[in-house]
Amino acid sequence: MPDRQIFTADLNDAGLFDAGIPQDVFSGMRATRGLVWTPIGAAGDGFWSVGRFADIVAVSRDPETFSSAAGHIQIYSIDDDALQARASMIDMDPPDHSRLRRLVNPGFIPKNIRDYVPIVRDRVSLLLDDIIEQGGADWVTALAKPIPIGIICDMLGVPEEDHDYMIELTDYLVAGTSARPLDPTAYGNTTPLRLLPFNSPAAHGLTEYARALGEKRRADPRDDMVSKLVTAEIDGQRMSDEEYCNFFRLLIFAGNETTRSAMSNLVIQMARFPEQFARLKQQPELIPSAVEEVVRFASPILYFRRTATRDTVLSGTQIKKGEKVVMWYCSGNFDEQQFENPQQFRVDRPKTVHVGYGGGGVHTCLGSGLARLELKVLLEEILKRDMQFTITETPEYVHSNFVNGIEHLHVKLS
Amino acid sequence: MQNHNKAALIDFLVTKIVCESENIRSFYLRPVRGECPEYTPGEYLVFELTDSNGKKIKREYSISNGSKQQLRITIKREDPPLQSPDLPAGVMSEYFHQQLQVGDSLIAYGPVGKFKLQSSARPVVLLGGGVGQTPLLAMAHALAEQGTRATTFIHACENGAVHALGAEITALKQSFKLLRSYVCYANPRSCDRLGSDYQSSGFISKEILQSLLVLDDYEFYLCGPGPFMQAMYNHLQQLGVDDGRIFYEFFGPATLLKKAAATVEAVKLPVPTTAADDSQPGTDSASPLITFSRSGFAVPWDPEFENLLEFAEEQDLMPDFSCRAGTCDTCKTKILQGQVSYPDEPMALPEEGYALICCAIPKGSISIDL
């Protein structure tokens, strides 16, 4: 493979992201012509990295060439049986993907999520007032974790007393992306880890939980999403238990980890750019654009991978059928070609499409409306209380090259 | 009045409670800090309460009048149904009626709502059933202040015992000469006086409307319970009123005002007055009509919606979508008649005759394959 530009940094190393997005690495990537290659091991495995905004959009919008179903959506390879066992909506292409989306779409439309405004406001207010009373907190534990999980659990119908268990399981799920060894028997797991999503035994725990809740709701349906999922039919067929459990796991993970990371990032940006946020007091109409800027800076999902279904050319680089193509959203969101002064945080940035919810196309984040709503209400309530944050310890990032999560963020109020 | 972020909570103080009828009271609310938020007549405030089971309940109450200093909401006590006295009374209305006192504080958010008095020069007909008249009262006050648009206030309720704020309309007529009113009691009591307390008994018929309204290009505002709304809507259709001239809000659970198949022709009859092109500069022209052809109904477009997808969802339709940003083509829908435009250009426009409804708005009336 003589013509492949081997990239200087090892993007497969989660340690590269231990202090947040390595901006220098990605600006180097964007400045390199064509796509760059990161080899994995010696057997010829590796992946193409797509770092420029326009290229990410091109890959996202072309599921026929860049498939989510033909291989795994994370960098590491998995066997076909594992792919099969863990498949959820995000591991599918249209039309399979569209059929499943149809099942959950109603829960996320503006008309239905607007009911959550007062609920989010209530929950946020309680937690913010606690933080004020204590003069500071670990923002992640005190607010960024409980808010999004609370809302997605409400939507799904997971009772309040189980919210902490859901947090624990999703944390342990993400730990599976870190390449650190996990206890294969945790949560009573007996399935080989290679067959489990994120190679984590927490996936087993989530599946078991989903199964039990599903059975309860099938016997006694309520007005919640689990009741709908276990009774819904797609093209005249009920979802299999496995499909439903995978769906549940995806929704719990996606509705939780990502918004949590954006909420933590909000506070990091508030501490870095207090004058920007002070402006919002006078100009609350800028709050929605501030929320977009927070998500751009957060880039909660660092990348998604696709697999080429045919030989093709992108940005002048030849891609062979079967090769891995990785879209680095955390790079596209700082592309100088798309954003003026991309490293500058501006609450009044003119409306510019970013890839914080994906690069467009059918896999665009289903919960983006909900995330925007949660972040907007949180920001409004912070401003209402005139809260100013000082970060007292270096933020501790999740050891992962897949999510831009923050484990701990100690703040005090000034 | 203050510019106010509508999603934010406002702390209010209850300054006055007025008994308007047997089961209706008005509550005057003054913000604890600053002036009242700006509101458009028709908008409501949202109140929240935790019931005895710890369940959060939320109710919207229309603003029935307001000033910079205070807003008024008017609430009917929702008793248990007569045939099932064991059922609980309305928790929120019970709270307002039984517990709330002058000097108490209350939190609400808003004002919000899509049912608003339009700015135009057309004559106005306000058609209210029961306590559904509350947003219409705010509209009547605003129209009186403006003083330029002929206004007909039509109110239907059970009888004089529950007729609220009749005197307020009578008083308003003294200062606003273009205001007329008409009251219809379903079951008048013996002490209710025909001709002064009410003008007719029973229900408001098409003939009553016809006799009250000389040929003109009216805007109609409807608010009341479902059966009242459907009946009024049917009358207006049969009188040939264009859908674009009818604005409505349900009091209680909302449903769709559906056209009966037999009456579709009736709405197609031209409105015997000024067309949209004749509207004065600076006034709104009529809302375009969105016909959902496969579903068999049509609704006037509401420009508060960002796109046709959201608007269709509001009507309980569920078109396929994925990205909601014009990048995936999932929501591509056939346009059977009319044209759309794109305030935010999608990444690629669909072929002729189709629209990406997640980012399209109508350019005039349209018919779409939904």
Measured in residues, chain A has a length of 414
pLDDT digit string (tens) for B279-301? 333 223 467 889 888 887 788 89
* Mode of pairing for the β-strands spanning A36-40 and A45-50: antiparallel
**Cα pseudo-dihedral B112, B117, B119, B121, rounded to 10:** 180
Tell me the H-state helices in B1-118: 91-94
User: Is residue A78 in a domain?
Assistant: yes
Q: Which residues of A60-85 are buried (b: 16+ CB within 10 A; e: fewer)?
A: bbebebbbbbbbbbbbeebeeebbeb
User: Is residue A104 in a domain?
Assistant: yes
Instruction: Tell me the CA distances in angstroms from A322 to A46, A68, A314, one per residue in order.
Output: 11, 12, 15
* Contact by Cβ (8 Å): A36, A29: yes
pLDDT at A308 over 50: yes
Q: How far apart are alpha carbons B106 and B46 in whole angstroms?
A: 11
pLDDT at A115: 83
Tell me the H-state helices in A48-197: 53-60, 80-86, 96-104, 110-113, 116-134, 139, 146-156, 163-175
For residue A117, the domain's CATH number is 1.10.630.10
Best mutation target, A222, A362, A363, A366, to test chain B (most B CBs within 10 A): A362
Q: Is A106 on the interface with B (CB under 8 A)?
A: yes
Helix (H/G/I), strand (E/B), else coil: A189: coil
> CB under 8 Å to B154, separation ≥6 — which residues?
B125, B126, B127, B128, B181, B182, B183, B184, B204, B209, B212
Q: Which residues pair with B120 in a beta bridge?
A: none
pLDDT at B87: 60
Contact A109 B56 (CB under 8 A): no
User: Is residue A1 in a domain?
Assistant: no
pLDDT at B251: 60
Taking the CA atoms of A88, A89, A94 and A100 in sequence, report the sign of the dihedral they define.
positive
* Contact by Cβ (8 Å): A172, A200: yes
Q: Is A32 on the interface with B (CB under 8 A)?
A: no
pLDDT digit string (tens) for A273-307? 999 999 998 999 999 999 999 999 999 999 999 99
The whole-number average pLDDT for the span B333-350 is 91
Find how far residue A406's CA is from the centre of its chain: 12
State both tokens at B231.
């009946």
Using pLDDT thresholds of 50, 70 and 90, give the confidence band for residue B257: low
pLDDT at B8: 65
pLDDT at A378 over 90: yes
pLDDT digit string (tens) for B155-168? 999 999 999 999 99
Mean of the per-residue pLDDT values of chain A: 92
The residue in chain A having the minimum alpha-carbon distance to the alpha carbon of residue B58 is: A118
pLDDT at A89 over 50: yes
User: Is residue A194 in a domain?
Assistant: yes
Q: Is B313 on the interface with A (CB under 8 A)?
A: yes
* Cα Rg, chain B, nearest whole Å: 22
pLDDT digit string (tens) for A58-79? 999 999 999 999 999 999 888 8
pLDDT at B48: 82
DSSP structure class, residue B237? H
Q: How far apart are alpha carbons A169 and A203 in whole angstroms?
A: 8
Q: Is B203 on the interface with A (CB under 8 A)?
A: no
The residue in chain A having the minimum alpha-carbon distance to the alpha carbon of residue B310 is: A110
pLDDT at A68: 96
Quote the percentage of chain A above a pLDDT of 70: 98
pLDDT digit string (tens) for B182-218? 999 999 999 999 988 999 998 899 889 988 888 788 9
Contact A118 B321 (CB under 8 A): no
CA nearest neighbour of A218 among A207, A208, A229, A209: A229
User: Is residue A6 in a domain?
Assistant: no
| Residues of B with Cβ-Cβ distance to A380 under 8 angstroms | 5, 7-8
pLDDT at B79: 76
pLDDT at A400 over 70: yes
Q: Is B320 on the interface with A (CB under 8 A)?
A: yes
pLDDT at B336: 93
A101, A364, A380: residue with CB nearest B325: A364
**Cα pseudo-dihedral A290, A369, A211, A362, rounded to 10:** -110
A106, A122, A384: residue with CB nearest B8: A384
Quote the percentage of chain B above a pLDDT of 90: 50
Residue B128's φ and ψ, nearest 5 degrees, are: -120, 135
**Can you state the angle between helices A368-384 and A287-298, rounded to 10 degrees?**
120
Q: How far apart are alpha carbons A323 and B336 in whole angstroms?
A: 43
| A130 Cα to chain B: minimum distance (Å) | 19
Write down the ipTM of this complex.
Answer: 0.85
User: Is residue A5 in a domain?
Assistant: no
User: Is residue A175 in a domain?
Assistant: yes
Residue A351's φ and ψ, nearest 5 degrees, are: -50, 115
Q: How far apart are alpha carbons B361 and A167 in whole angstroms?
A: 41
Instruction: Tell me the CA distances in angstroms from A258 to A251, A302, A372, one per residue in order.
Output: 11, 10, 12
Q: Is B318 on the interface with A (CB under 8 A)?
A: yes
Q: How far apart are alpha carbons B315 and B308 in whole angstroms?
A: 11
Q: Is B323 on the interface with A (CB under 8 A)?
A: yes
State both tokens at A42.
């010696």
* Contact by Cβ (8 Å): B114, B6: no
Amino acid letter, A129? D
B8, B46, B58: residue with CB nearest A380: B8
* Contact by Cβ (8 Å): B203, B231: yes
User: Is residue A4 in a domain?
Assistant: no
Q: In order of start, what are the domains of chain B with their CATH numbers?
A: 9-112 (2.40.30.10), 124-273 (3.40.50.80), 289-368 (3.10.20.30)
pLDDT at B284: 36
Report the number of distinct structural domains present in chain A.
Answer: 1
Using pLDDT thresholds of 50, 70 and 90, give the confidence band for residue B1: very low
Q: Is B321 on the interface with A (CB under 8 A)?
A: yes
Q: Is B58 on the interface with A (CB under 8 A)?
A: yes
Mean of the per-residue pLDDT values of chain B: 83
Owning domain of residue A119: 14-413
Quote the percentage of chain B above a pLDDT of 70: 85
Beginning with the edge strand found earlier in the chain, give each strand of the sheet holding A410-413 in spatial order. Answer: A136-138, A410-413, A389-391
pLDDT digit string (tens) for B17-41? 999 998 899 999 999 988 888 899 9
